[in-house]
Amino acid sequence: QKEVEQDPGPLSVPEGAIVSLNCTYSNSAFQYFMWYRQYSRKGPELLMYTYSSGNKEDGRFTAQVDKSSKYISLFIRDSQPSDSATYLCAKRNDKIIFGKGTRLHILP
């Protein structure tokens, strides 16, 4: 079992909808969780990080962690076509372990 599992999608939603992206992880010996966004032909860029159970909000983005079920989520409100990208979840201790990424398409 991979340490971080993520549905590859693609996930297509209409503009303005709420997007929910999810990951599960298998090893509890880590400290932080992160979400990266990767546009085509670009490197990943850090969107958000969190380490505690609960929600962390940043603009239209909310990261949620449930340590009891080993589940992490990213919610995007009022989705825009510019949000179309691949979203990677990751966990981090002395190195970063990434999920395979979910391709998201926001339909105008």
Partner 1 sequence: KAGVTQTPRYLIKTRGQQVTLSCSPISGHRSVSWYQQTPGQGLQFLFEYFSETQRNKGNFPGRFSGRQFSNSRSEMNVSTLELGDSALYLCASSPARTSGRPTDTQYFGPGTRLTVL
Q: Which of 16, 26, 46, 107 binds partner 1 (CB under 8 A)?
A: 46
Cα–Cα distances (Å) from 96 to 80, 81, 92, in that order, read: 28, 29, 4
Would you count residue 61 as binding partner 1 (CB under 8 A)?
no
Q: Which of 11, 13, 17, 49 binds partner 1 (CB under 8 A)?
A: 49
Would you count residue 93 as binding partner 1 (CB under 8 A)?
yes
Stretch that binds partner 1, among 10-18, 61-69, 70-78, 99-107 (CB under 8 A): 99-107
Would you count residue 63 as binding partner 1 (CB under 8 A)?
no
32 versus 71: smaller Cβ distance to partner 1: 32
CB 59 → partner 1: shortest distance, Å?
17
DSSP summary character for residue 40: T
Taking residue 4's Cβ as centre, other Cβ atoms within 10 Å add up to 22
Cα–Cα distances (Å) from 42 to 4, 19, 38, 39, in that order, read: 22, 22, 6, 5
4 versus 79: smaller Cβ distance to partner 1: 4
Nearest to residue 38, comparing CAs of 86, 91, 101? Answer: 86
